[in-house]
Amino acid sequence: MELEFLGTNAGVPSLQRNVTSMALRMFEERRTFWLFDCGEATQHQILRSSLKLSKLEKIFVTHLHGDHIFGLPGLLSSRAYQGGTTKLTMYGPPGLKQFIDVSLTLSQSRIEYELEVVEHTGGTVFEDQEFTVESLLLDHRVDSYGYRITEKDKAGSLDLKRMSEYGLKPGPVYGKLKRGESIDLGDGRMLKPEDVLGSPKKGRVVTILGDTRPCDNVLTLARDADLLVHEATFMDDLKESAYNYHHCTSVQAAEAALRAGAKELILTHFSSRYKDMEHLQPLLEEARTVFPNTLLAEELVLFPVQRHT
């Protein structure tokens, strides 16, 4: 898993940064990527990346402010022209479906692939054999949600030496053991998966927040996360402005990461008053005084999701 930021600005785009969007790349895990928010010009940012809209599987929307959703109609319309034929599912707060329906209907856009819009008010919004996605309400001017993406634990690697000792060769039997099934060796013995499998691989947890003030649900979503993506609209000397606009400072984001026991923090959603990466360095420095393992989101740069044990 890798995160690729397609927009890191708050409110409006600037010459240096686009508005909010990020891709969770899962090409090794499921050969797709998921998108979190879709501000204006997100599809242009995707064209500048190695991402292909044909591989987009899901979109998770945190809230309905324009800097998080104005890129959706164009991206959805373009997807079919870029080879997107598979089903696309969107998740977000109530009102998302109306926004999509009205935008596509009035523009007479034709969507030739299956598009499903799932509105939610928190809880478990998606689960399959590989991942669970949970959501909770945050503290913002409109209903804004954070998402906790949990990769399920995977079976350990097969001990090939032990397999050889049992006279087993690569083939379907390997798959059965990896799936947790016992094997009849044909001599009255049963080979159990735990006899030849290493320790399970702990699944990773990624927490991606929408716009928010500090609140308890931030800590719940970020508890022991391998990676927390947290808004940091202002430096801490503008804490009062952050509160008034229902946002956070870089120090407040770092405090949340520390209290939640997160392993790594990436700051994003920066006010346009901070013009470029050089002007963002003070935000990073003050956050690191609280939580040293902090990074600044940078657009079109890949951030691997590390597996912490």
Q: pLDDT digit string (tens) for 172-189? A: 887 788 777 888 888 888
Which of left, alpha, beta for 115 (phi over 0: left; psi -120 to 50: alpha)?
beta
- pLDDT top residue among 177 and 101: 101
For residue 229, the model assigns a pLDDT of 98
Give the mean pLDDT of the chain. 94
Q: 138 and 214 in contact (C-beta within 8 Å)?
A: no
Q: Residue 131 burial by CB count (10 A; 0-12/13-18/19+): exposed, middle or buried?
A: buried
d(CA 76, CA 88): 9
Domain boundaries, the chain: 2-154+201-304, 160-195
For residue 215, the model assigns a pLDDT of 98
Q: pLDDT digit string (tens) for 25-36? A: 999 999 999 999
Q: Give residue 157's identity as a one-letter amino acid code.
A: S
The CATH number given to 2-154+201-304 is: 3.60.15.10
- Would the pLDDT of 69 be above 80? yes
State yes or no: 67 annotated in a binding site.
yes
**Catalytic site residues?**
67
- Would the pLDDT of 236 be above 80? yes
Tell me what percent of the residues of the chain surpass a pLDDT of 90: 81
Q: State the pTM of this model.
A: 0.90
State yes or no: 230 annotated in a binding site.
no
For residue 271, the model assigns a pLDDT of 97
Query: How large is the average pLDDT for residues 148-152?
Result: 97
Name the pLDDT band for 16 (thresholds 50, 70, 90): very high
State yes or no: 65 annotated in a binding site.
yes
What does DSSP say about strands 131-137 and 2-7: parallel, antiparallel, or unpaired?
A: unpaired
